[in-house]
Amino acid sequence: MACPYVPPYMQESTAAQPAAAVVSTPAPQTKKECIANVVDGETHEAVISIVSTQQWDPSSSSILLQLYERILAPQLSQLGCLVGGKAENWSGNFVIQYVVVNTKCNEVAIAKQAIESETFVKEVDVVCA
């Protein structure tokens, strides 16, 4: 599902582009935009909390958030409308939390298993309703 919202840090700049190819990540939408695109039978909302193996460090949380979004957002955006990632401290670990709307809970459960197999992931918690 294509999302038209692009956060400021992901917008193109006038800086010189890197020589290596850059994989673009799907941009998260706002929840309001997602609700406007509700599809019948796919109206579930999932909150996905991904606990990293990295320790929480407030000074590097924005860098880790961008790195994890580049890795996880393409996979999560296939589940529905990705509302975005938020970095948090969970028992001393870096956690990124996503909300996906217009999704199917069984597909989220399958994606959870795939995400848990990543080496940088300690645990994945999903609430889908």
10 within some domain: no
Q: pLDDT averaged over the chain?
A: 77
CATH number at residue 93: 3.30.70.260
3 within some domain: no
pLDDT tens column, 28-68: 555 555 655 555 555 688 999 999 999 999 999 999 999 98
36 within some domain: yes
- Kindly write down the DSSP assignment for every residue of the chain, as one continuous string: -------GGGS--SSPPPSS--PPPPPPPPHHHHHHT--TT--EEEEEEEEEEEEP-TTTHHHHHHHHHHHHHHHHHTTSEEEEEEEEEETTEEEEEEEEEEE-HHHHHHHHHHHHTSTTEEEEEEEE-
* Domain that residue 115 falls in: 27-128
pLDDT tens column, 71-83: 888 889 899 888 8
85 within some domain: yes
60 within some domain: yes
- Number of domain units in the chain: 1
pLDDT tens column, 83-103: 878 999 999 999 999 999 888
pLDDT of residue 35: 54
pLDDT of residue 112: 93
pLDDT of residue 21: 40
